[in-house]
Chain A
Amino acid sequence: MSLPDVLRAALAEADRHDPKKAMPRSTFRFGDLSVAMRLHPSPALQRLLPMMRSGGVKAPPSSVVIDVVGGDVSWLRKLLPPPDRRGRTLLRANEDIYYLWLNEADGYLTAIDRGAARGLVWFTHPDKIASWHVARPFLHAIKGLSLPSPWTPIHAASVALNGRGVLIAGLSGAGKSSIAMTCALRGWDYLGDDAVLVRAGPARVAALYNSARLREDTFSRFPEVMAACLRVSDDAGESKAEIDMALMRPLTVGEAEISAILVPQPTDWTELHLRPISRSETLRKLMEAAQQSLIGDEPSTFAKLAAVVERVPCYGLVAGGDPEQLSCALSRLVEKRSAA
């Protein structure tokens, strides 16, 4: 049997475990995609739902169904990589299947049958689900489902003012969360600090999660945000505050036009500085960030992000040390774009 056939058999088996379709489903909307998560019985999996931005959407008939499974499940074993390869990241992404095995939480699999728009997420040890999964659940499933959609999930932050947003690109540690928090505390709508959806034609950004994560060295800079901290978790040896931004204020805006793309610049400067940068540099930074955490489908991701970059002005940003000044400068940027 080929891997897609093994996956189809597993998905058929998942349906047999829910013959009356009585298993609870939670439906979420991601851009133009409506996804019903069918959680198989396992209390640890319930932790994955609260941070989803669009909870409570009524399931349309066209919803894609993703089975979320935890533990040692006999009818999924054929999907496991051979034992000698389970310590590696394994990916197959083509028009038939998105299969991603990550050696974290003692084994985590996302498998999407792209032809049938069905899939599953399997935590082989649900008691070991990593904190970043709880903050950004099902991100790889969304990635696997997004291939035929104009939307693509990316590793970026975003905030918006009056429906016009800035997209903040960069690798982990570039300062995306700090810039997003600085703006969110000054009236901007929060769309995400680490993962959002984007599309071109027109260029838009959509929120995926309510969550934010702050590095320990930024805790003291954002006491108001820390008031919404659910817990501090260990992320590969680094302490991260897990924030529920909905506790700060209702998150009513889930989508915005992209008015500018910002790429934080590594520098010792302490003064705010914004300068236009080339589209090729911006696209490269967006792709680097995508490949850091959302691997697979690179040619398609490249084409989608190139179409966004083509339509939006791109800037290198040194955030400086004055949060008020930063928020004002970015306000002027989106207003300028609106006027243009």
Chain B
Amino acid sequence: MATAHSRSAARIMMAPAVFVLLVWMLVPLSMTLFFSFKKFLPLRGDSIGRGLDWVGFANYARFISSSSFWPSVVTTLLIVGGVLVITVALGILLGILLDQPMWGQGVVRILVIAPFFVMPTVSALVWKNLFMDPVNGFLAHVWRAFGATPVEWLSQASLPSIVLIVSWEWLPFATLILLTAIQSLDSEQLEAAEMDGASSPARFFYIVLPHLARAITIVILIQTIFLLSIFAEIFVTTGGAFGTKTLTYLIYQRVLESQNVGLGSAGGVYAIILANIVAIFLMRIVGKNLDA
């Protein structure tokens, strides 16, 4: 099939998709870059039609010197890191449990996957109002049942609460990927290890975990991409207060609450840089698992 003719035909047929993807990516990127060097305050009468003032790197300098910048980077990394640790650890555990033969396996698997289908906004609202509400929330009732004072989750333990909500949303994804990886493990390998005298913890660490390395890598990489940009969960719960302001949220505040498009765009470029730094680190640490 790999004739010169079929190759050029393939190129022609792929061209529209490649074009759309390029436009989808390049137009927003170049607009962000363009605005980040301009003074653009719509409420003060700036508009593209009237021309925007070139301000050089002023937006960049102002964004990074804001007292909110570094805390927001730290918050972002804490949320990403926390969710990754929780979802991977619990995902492996749940994957192993769901791999065991049991009654109602199919139904249980669907139930475990279900949270993934709930929209982030909805699941955050459910957690906020039904579980974490200090007056009527389920957890508040549990606390009171033991005579304790209910915890005001989203203000007293705001960051862990958000990590909990986001982990709940992403655990099904991790479980699903890790479960399929566990199912692909050759049972003869486990039996061979058993005959070789490996205890069940040894079998887990020497056989199962190395087998899962690639799946764990994929879970980490894909989740990181999405977790760096979480927004809805913060928006509907704390609104960025109580130390839960991520970089994404800070950009949102600069653009929409302060109505400063130039400053927000500069923040967007910083977000791109942060994402790339994280990506480089991840590829260094776990990327080698994707080879061979």
A-B interaction = no
